[in-house]
Structure 1
Amino acid sequence: MNDRFVLISGCSGGGKSTLLAELHARGYPVVEEPGRRIIADELASSGTALPWVDAPAFLRRAIDVALKDMATAKAHAGWVFFDRGLVDAASALEALTGETVLRPICAARRYHRRVFVTPPWPEIYVTDTERRHGFEAAAAEYHRLVQTFPMLGYDVIDLPKISPSARADFVLTTLGSGGASTA
């Protein structure tokens, strides 16, 4: 387990990226969501590893990106916050294809035992060019993840529906000391 790597996961459109932007503004290193980076790359290059074109290829690429992100993040001291990660991608691939990938991939590559998840929050949910799925699919994703994390030995902590600043305070207070920002 890497006690410095903190995963922010949960429902799409639940405020993960906004929370990560707040943590980054406070001086903490953050790792952007693999899926959004892949979608941007694929759209720019007319690629097909997109969730709405070839979801298995997209998820396999997300696993690869998440593994590289974890390796790169080792260079940082203190807390490193991840906007989604390895468990999200492996869990989705296993649910989609039935391939047994989750435990083999995630068992030796761990985040902090506490995983913060954004619950479904319809009042702030929006679609865009990269998030094309509807709220029902996002809520189903959340429910899959909150069942998956405990099976892998993680403690799931639902983030309260409060401002990004208050959410960041909640995360940092819950984690306690030991991961001072670099600011």
Structure 2
Amino acid sequence: MTRLVVLSGCSGGGKSTLLLELQRRGCTCVAEPGRRIVAEELESGGGALPWLDMAAFARRAMAMALTDLAAAESASGPVFFDRSLVDAAAALEHVSGFPILRRVAETRYDDRVFMAPPWRELYRHDAERRHGFDDAVAEYERLLEAYSSLGYRIETLPKAGVAERADFVLERLHSASME
């Protein structure tokens, strides 16, 4: 059975590093749509960048998340996503005011979502992450609300090393499969 497992949470909270560790351990992983979009837009000179046109960026992230989800549904075993359609829809709803979250509610991932909490010591600016830590914390709060409102069970990742975080995720998924 394919399990579509989301790693979400605070920007700069270690999600991508955790995804790399899960991939190193043999898990199937899908990179964050936002990072891929930013790289494509910067290379092509496009404008769907979160600091230029957040609505266009979020719409592209939603389309990419749907494509990623469709591609993953035939995989065997768990597939780990660095962010999801819910993240993109929450961003679009935040900037546009349009209630898009309810429209994506039927598109489901595993009921358990792993959230990376704000962790100031990990947070770094880079060419693709230009917002500040306070903005990242506000985004985290919006994501907690979005996932909760859609009936997902939140598992907060421990503030620990990447190996311990990967162990935590895999143990929780194994425990859930035994229930």
TM range (shorter): over 0.9
Structure 2 equivalent of residue 129 of structure 1: 127
Structure 2 equivalent of residue 142 of structure 1: 140
Question: By how many angstroms is 1:75 displaced?
Answer: 2.7
Q: Structure 1's 86 and 104: CA in aligned 2 closer, same or farther, altered over 3 A? A: same
Structure 1 equivalent of residue 165 of structure 2: 167
Question: By how many angstroms is 1:178 displaced?
Answer: 8.6
Query: Aligned partners of 1:116, 1:3: CA distance in 2, in Å?
Result: 17
Aligned length: 177
Q: Is the 8 A contact 1:8 1:83 kept in 2?
A: yes
- Gaps of at least 5 residues in structure 1 are none
After superposition, residues 49-68 of structure 1 pair within 5 angstroms as: 49-68=48-67
Q: Is the 8 A contact 1:10 1:146 kept in 2?
A: yes
Query: Aligned partners of 2:87, 2:176: CA distance in 1, in Å?
Result: 26
Structure 2 equivalent of residue 81 of structure 1: 80
Structure 2 equivalent of residue 99 of structure 1: 98
Query: Aligned partners of 2:147, 2:176: CA distance in 1, in Å?
Result: 23
Q: Structure 1's 3 and 141: CA in aligned 2 closer, same or farther, altered over 3 A? A: farther
TM-score by length of 1: 0.94
Query: Aligned partners of 1:109, 1:141: CA distance in 2, in Å?
Result: 21
Query: Aligned partners of 1:177, 1:141: CA distance in 2, in Å?
Result: 29
2:110 counterpart SS class: coil
Structure 1 equivalent of residue 25 of structure 2: 26
Q: Is the 8 A contact 1:3 1:111 kept in 2?
A: no
Query: Aligned partners of 1:120, 1:108: CA distance in 2, in Å?
Result: 28
TM-score by length of 2: 0.96
Match of 1:156 among 154, 157, 166: 154
- Gaps of at least 5 residues in structure 2 are none
Query: Aligned partners of 2:147, 2:42: CA distance in 1, in Å?
Result: 31
Structure 1 equivalent of residue 35 of structure 2: 36
Question: By how many angstroms is 1:177 displaced?
Answer: 6.3
Cα offsets for 1:158-182 (capped at 9, x unmatched): 1000111110000010111698xxx
Structure 1 equivalent of residue 5 of structure 2: 6
- Matched-pair identity in %: 56
Query: Aligned partners of 1:49, 1:151: CA distance in 2, in Å?
Result: 28
Query: Aligned partners of 1:27, 1:99: CA distance in 2, in Å?
Result: 39
Q: Is the 8 A contact 2:55 2:96 kept in 1?
A: yes
Query: Aligned partners of 2:102, 2:87: CA distance in 1, in Å?
Result: 12
Q: Is the 8 A contact 1:78 1:178 kept in 2?
A: no
C-alpha root-mean-square deviation of aligned residues, in Å? 1.4
